[in-house]
Amino acid sequence: MDANDFLRSARVAIPELSRPGLSVGERIEAAIERTAERVGCNTNLGIVLLLAPLAKAATTPGCTDLRASLARVLGQLDVADSTACYRAIRVARPAGLGAVDEQDVAIAPSVGLREAMQLAAGHDSIAAQYVDDFDLVFSVGLPVLLEYRQRWRSLSWATTACYLSILAQQPDSHVSRKFGSARALGISEQVRSVANTLKACENPRLLVEALIALDRELKARGVNPGTSADLTVASLAVLFLKHRLNLI
C-alpha cells in the first residue's frame, strides 16, 4: 500500500464516521466496508476504531467537554456495537490478530464493546483507549500537538513530534504482535532519544536527515509502528474537534 491508498480510505471512511444517528459500531462497520470496497486492503482499521467514538462524542448535542462526552459514549457501548465492530474486523482482516479464548472476533460477542476491548487492553494500545477514555491521546498526543504547533508554527512538525512522543511513551502494539514485546520496547527506547532531540530544537528542519535515517532503518528491518500512527491521527482528530466545538 502507498499514501494514495490512505487518502482514498479517508475520503470514503470520513462520511461514514460522521454520519448522524449512527451508533459507534455502525460507524465502524460502515467505514470499514467502504474502505474495503474502495481500497481492498486494511489501511485504517485502527484509525476507524479510534475515530468512531470521538465522532459520536463530538456530535452529541450540547457537547462542552469532549473527553467527558467521550467517556459517556464509551460507557454506553453495548453488544450491538461489539457485533458490528467484530464484523468490521473480519472484513479488514488485520495482520497478526491471532485467536483468544474469550470473546474472539471470529465468533459472535456476548459483551459490550468496551468490555470486549478491556479483554485486549493489556496487549493492544487501541483497545486500551476504550478502557481509559483515550488517556494516551488526551494526556500525551494532544498536549504535544498544542505545544509544538505554537512553538514551531507548523502543524506538520508538531505531528511528527506527536508521533515520536507516543511511540517513545508506549511500545507499539502492532510491532509487539509481529516481533514480540522486547523488540517493541527496544524501538521505543531507540526513538525516545530522537524524540527528545527533536523537541529540544528551535528549528526542527535540522533533524530531517536523522528522521529519514530512522525511517529507513525501521523499513529495512520490516518494522512498522502503525499503532502509534493511528494514535497520532486520533490526537489530531481531538485537536480539530476541539477547535470545531470552540473548546480551544
User: Tens digit of pLDDT per residue, the chain (248 long)?
Assistant: 889 999 999 999 999 999 999 999 999 999 999 999 999 999 999 999 999 999 999 999 989 999 999 999 999 999 999 999 999 999 998 754 544 555 567 788 999 999 999 999 999 999 999 999 999 999 999 999 999 999 999 999 999 999 999 999 999 999 999 999 999 999 999 999 999 999 999 999 999 999 999 999 999 999 999 999 999 999 999 999 999 999 98
Cell output for 22: 449512527
Neighbours of 217 (CB within 10 A): 11
Domain boundaries, the chain: 3-133, 137-244
Cell output for 206: 535540522
Question: How far apart (Å, rounded) are the C-alpha atoms in residues 162 and 79?
Answer: 33
Question: How far apart (Å, rounded) are the C-alpha atoms in residues 118 and 115?
Answer: 5
pTM, two decimals, is: 0.94
Cα 116 → chain centroid: 17
Provide the H-helix boundaries in 170-180: 173-179
Residue whose C-alpha is closest to residue 130's, from 53, 18, 235, 233: 53
> Are residues 236 and 10 in contact, defined by beta-carbon separation less than 8 angstroms?
no
pLDDT value at position 104?
A: 65
pLDDT value at position 95?
A: 59
